[in-house]
Amino acid sequence: MTKKETPIIILNYKTYAESTGKNAVTLSQYVQEASDETGVNMAIAPQAVDLYPIIEAVDIPVYSQHMDNITPGGHTGSTLPEALKETGITGTLINHSEQRLTLADIDAIVEKSKQLNLTSVLCTNNVKTSAAAASFNPDYIAIEPPELIGTGIPVSKASPEVVEKTVEEIHKINNNIPVLCGAGISTGEDMKAALELGAEGVLLASGIIKADDQKQALIDLVSLI
């Protein structure tokens, strides 16, 4: 089945036990199967340490959760953009709520992603920061109100105005940046509501990762679109 570019689902593995190590590889296989069976574009963002085995095992877009604004040299404990590129990733999340960056770092990392031909997904927390983020010209902006992350209360239903206004403000600055939304998304209804508000996909985690049947949860997520 040919997959459309959007809507896109990006599953952020964070550091949940259910999406770490061997579980991360198994989950990635489920994501690939769900994507192939539904024809919906699904990507994943595992921990850096799990990238190599996952990229060997599946053929779906794989993102890193973060990259550091560093160049090769003395930066113990950091993650070098060039090293991430070498794993075969498609792109990277930038400035996730759980890994906030300075404006200067965001600017540098978006630019570095372009140089390395990596897709940049710049995360934001509200309408104002989303408008500011548009000036960096990333490939995607993902709005995630931090107070809803991990709650199971979907942003697309609890704060529809935030998603709608974010899309509007970003598109005033750059009409070509697709907007994703995330936080509390887990069901087909949540996903459908997100698309109706102008989002072109979702960034999500716990609703799928903690589900009893992760693959079925992904299939249900896209069942109404």
Q: Which is nearer to ligand G3P, 98 or 117 (CB)?
A: 98
Judged by CB under 6 A, which of 34, 170, 203, 222 binds ligand G3P?
Answer: 203
SS3 (DSSP) at 187: coil
Q: Which amino acid is at 6?
A: T
Closest CB to ligand G3P among 66 and 96? 96
Stretch that binds ligand G3P, among 1-9, 26-34, 142-150, 192-200 (CB under 6 A): 142-150
- Residue nearest ligand G3P, Cβ-based: 206
Question: With contact defined as beta carbons under 8 Å apart, do 181 and 197 qualify?
Answer: yes
Which of 177/203 has CB closer to ligand G3P?
Answer: 203
Q: Which of 7, 138, 178, 207 touches ligand G3P by CB under 6 A?
A: 207
Residue 204 contacts by C-beta under 8 Å, 6 or more apart in sequence? 9, 10, 11, 12, 182, 185, 186, 221
Count of residues engaged in binding ligand G3P, rule: CB under 6 A: 14
Place of tokens 């996730």: 96
From the list 52-60, 108-116, 198-206, 214-222, the region that binds ligand G3P by CB under 6 A is 198-206
Residue 205 touching ligand G3P (CB under 6 A): yes
Smallest gap, in angstroms, from Cβ of residue 74 to ligand G3P?
31
| Phi and psi, residue 75, nearest 5° | -140, 65
**Is 91 a residue that touches ligand G3P (CB under 6 A)?**
no
Which stretches within the chain are classed as H helix? Answer: 22-38, 51-57, 81-87, 103-115, 127-134, 155-158, 160-173, 188-196, 206-209, 214-221
Per CB under 6 A, the list member of 51, 121, 149, 191 interacting with ligand G3P is 149
Residue 46: closest CA among 62, 59, 33, 57:
62
Active site includes 75?
no
Instruction: Report the half-sphere exposure of 38 (CA within 13 A, side-chain side).
Output: 25
DSSP secondary structure string for all residues of 135-172: TT--SEEEE--GGGTTSS--HHHH-HHHHHHHHHHHHH
For residue 5 the two structure tokens come to: 């570019």
Q: Which of 54, 143, 167, 185 binds ligand G3P (CB under 6 A)?
A: 185
Catalytic residue check, 66: no
188 touches ligand G3P (CB under 6 A): no
* Residues of this chain that bind ligand G3P (CB under 6 A): 12, 96, 144, 149-150, 182-185, 203-207
Which residues are known to be catalytic? 96, 144
